[in-house]
Amino acid sequence: MVGGLFKAAEEVPPLYAHLSDVTSCCRKKKGKQKKMAAVGESAPSVPSNVVIKTEPEYEDDVVSSLRDVAVKREPAVPLLSPVSGPQPLAWSQDHRLAVSTSGSLSVMELTCDVRATKQDLTLSRTSIPVPNEAHKLRVGPSVEVAQAMEKFSLHPDPTIRQLFLTDAVINPSVGMHKGIKYASWSPVGCDSCGRCLLACLTLDNRLTVHSSHRRLEWNLLVDLSKKYGERLRERAYARKDCGPPEANLLDFDELQRRFRMQTPLGMEWSSVYTTRQVQQDNACVTADMVLLAVLMENGDLVLWRFALPFADGDDVEFYDLIESGVARPSGVAWWEYENADRRMSGLIVGSDVGPVKIVPVGLSKVKGYFTLRHPVILWKECDDMPVENIKCVSLIHPIHKSSCSLIVASRSCYVFWCLLMISPTGLNVHNSHLAGLQSLPVVSLAASQHGVAFYTASMDGWIKKLTPTFTANSVIFKVEDLLQPESLTGRRIYGISVSHNGAYMALVSTQGLVGGFHPISRTYKVHFLALKAPETAAALLLDSPAQNLHKMADLLDLLRSDILRSKRVPAPLRDKLDKKIQEADSPYLWRFKLFLLRVLLQALQAPQKDRSWNIGVLEANGAGLGDREEGESDRVKPEKEEEERRAEVQAQIRTVETRLIRENMKKVLGVVYLNTWITQNTSVPTCGLMDYLSKDPNDRASEVLIGHVRKKMNKQMFSERCSLCQAALPFDDHKQAVCENGHVWLRCVLSYQACQTLTFRRCLLQDSVARLPEPEDPEWIKKILQAPCALCDSPMI
């Protein structure tokens, strides 16, 4: 038992005991579909007829899994600097790709622009430059540091002198590399705009957190390396729960310890946690927070707590220090378990020498969370194969119908997997390795959360897809070669990453060997592969549990490209969407329909190819004037039909937009009714909204709501005034307000107040605008202004 609560990790034989039965499966003829089973001896025998796939199976008329073939998408983005860091690619939940290079952290944002007429990806590029000044770790008084440097640079013991002279962290004079070491995205909804924070670690060990508060602009929020260095100085560089060290900097072991305790190797964000806080008036309020776990070179895990929404460095505080006890750590990832009322968190720590373990994380202030009493060993053999690219996916076991975790990591040419299941008897651990995947070590591993799949890439350019299939107590992986376009074969791959919903894969690569020789100069590019077919994307969008178009932007982009190519909305998608709207009249489905209509309109407005050469051909063949006029009349007819079709689509767009706006207006009026206890003039133009909604006599819901609001207002009328001339602003258009003197103001799509300031926010897709919250606004109005765009679900920037 682990602490009397969970069962300890079961004894697993060494790696090489499993390879004989696995590698035999890999000697089949190349090109055939392979299945690879690697199960630890701790798992009992399982009936062969109990196999359940984790990939969702759809009807044949909707999705054909055979069509999910990797297709290259343009453009291929060139990088200005070589890539750097062990994992150079990181894709966020809000569809931004971070690429680590030696000159900057390049960020590419995928935008599903309904106004684009080309099928290519719409990417907005920004970057966070690497600071010019080198970052120096402080380990003590400058006088003592100078004495230590002089002593160890001339130390009589060659082993100590060599260690000192070759360590770039302790002795920066040997030359510190410049660039980005690691980048990690927070969950969505952490910054002031409801988007992701970006943690950036440079090769000179500077850890900072950034946010994009404005469009295509990055701001430094906090320097965690500086804050942690100040904390260590205050504690005299003591260990956790210990007094100041007795040794000084003239002891080489103490000098190494002080440097390693503040040298980050990597960092990962947790999920968003909700805590309860008691105010001074004994009122209980809920607050959101997120943790950032930083793995240090000595094995320590430093946890930072970020109060959400995070907008200032003062909102971050030191949370905890966990001594993992892992020698030579290599990577870290979060393990989070949730099943009904039982929730737990831990940190998966890998080592350069082989072992993998889960370190408990105490979340005592988070309601419903329990803490592991002791670490859980996932793999204990010290076989000198480093553990890298740790990924953890939480899912529902298809046989036991309970929550479980599948952990996958690369170890040289092998892939380590571990299945964690919590049963009434405790925590069950099943683990083993996959062999024969790559001929060279795995350099990158990516996980697709939706329709669980893993992708591995080696330096020689081969990419494998691993699809897990669950039995009662083990996992079987189906291994497939990812068919790449011919232009990508033979390139040297440095890293891969999969978008949030698994629609795209990004890979960064450079030229491979040319005629057996390395190229004289290298150019680094980021390529994009579409992993799903448009039919698959349509099925996932129709049944999306998120009910948010912005969160599904990568799948939407697949549909956008398909509609622009075919100039039509697929009939099965159109029919199923209309059927779902009739069954469940949700705003998400109406926004989805609006998106399809807008893209279709752009496809119909795309410029047609020039057909004037047909006339020249007719003249060259001696065609008469009558034949030419007949050809021109044949062309006028389809053009007229296309114009009529465009007009029909535009009318449908106006109808859907009006419906969405009216539903959002009723929602805002309902919030006003619930939060105004007396007659008061709020920033929401209540009278204007009621007049606008009352124009439709068939809307019974609006009529009832307006009656309740008018009764509470007690016949008082509050009209908006123009800030320039004090004239009344009529509410006859939801997009703008025009006073009698011709002053035009845009209306906020969230509160419908006229934005009469120089600064306001705009939707990411530029569909609408929203005003900024004012300090005097009540909390319920600030909550209204935090909502996304009512037309496309995009955040307000």
Report how far residue 568's alpha carbon sits from residue 563's, in angstroms, rounded to the nearest whole number.
Answer: 5
Using 50, 70 and 90 to split pLDDT, how confident is the model at 632?
A: low
Look at residues 791, 733, 783 and name the one whose alpha carbon lies nearest to residue 762.
791
Mean residue pLDDT of the chain comes to 86
Strands in 403-411's sheet, in edge-to-edge order, are: 388-396, 403-411, 414-423, 426-434
For 710-751, list the strands marked E by DSSP: 736-738, 744-746
Report how far residue 671's alpha carbon sits from residue 650's, in angstroms, rounded to the nearest whole number.
Answer: 32
Is the pLDDT score of 232 beyond 90? yes
* 653 contacts 663 by C-beta, under 8 angstroms: no
* 750 contacts 194 by C-beta, under 8 angstroms: no
> What is the pLDDT averaged over residues 142-160?
93
Q: How far is CA 77 from CA 124, 130, 217, 489, in A?
A: 11, 20, 20, 17
Look at residues 325, 160, 166 and name the one whose alpha carbon lies nearest to residue 239.
325
More confidently predicted of 621 and 86: 86
Report how far residue 433's alpha carbon sits from residue 379's, in angstroms, rounded to the nearest whole number.
Answer: 11
Q: What's 342-391 look like in SS3?
A: EEEEEEEEEECCCCEEEEECCCCCECCEECCCCCEEEECCCCCCCCEEEE
Q: Read out DSSP for 20-32? A: HHHHGGGGSPTTS
Query: Which amino acid, residue 390?
Result: I
Using 50, 70 and 90 to split pLDDT, how confident is the model at 2?
A: very low
Report how far residue 431's alpha carbon sits from residue 419's, in angstroms, rounded to the nearest whole number.
Answer: 6
581-621 pLDDT tens trace: 999 889 999 999 999 999 999 999 856 554 444 444 444 45
Is the pLDDT score of 8 beyond 90? no
Q: What is the dihedral of CA 339, 340, 345, 346, to 10 degrees?
A: -30
525-548 pLDDT tens trace: 999 999 999 999 999 999 999 999
The three-point CA angle 97-100-103 to 5° equals 125
Give one word for 297, left, alpha or beta, with left for phi > 0 and alpha for psi -120 to 50: alpha
Give the least confident one: 28-37, 237-246, 367-376, 774-783: 28-37
* 456 contacts 410 by C-beta, under 8 angstroms: yes
Judge if pTM exceeds 0.75.
Answer: yes
Q: How far is CA 534 from CA 114, 366, 541, 723, in A?
A: 16, 41, 10, 49
Report how far residue 378's alpha carbon sits from residue 350's, in angstroms, rounded to the nearest whole number.
Answer: 10
What's the pLDDT at 629? 58
Query: Can you list the domains of the chain with their CATH numbers?
Result: 15-532 (2.130.10.10), 534-607 (no CATH), 657-785 (no CATH)
> What is the pLDDT averaged over residues 57-81?
69
Report how far residue 779's alpha carbon sits from residue 750's, in angstroms, rounded to the nearest whole number.
Answer: 14
With tokens 């009904």, the residue in question is 340
Using 50, 70 and 90 to split pLDDT, how confident is the model at 3?
A: very low
Report how far residue 354's alpha carbon sits from residue 729's, in angstroms, rounded to the nearest whole number.
Answer: 70
552-580 pLDDT tens trace: 999 999 999 999 999 999 999 999 999 99
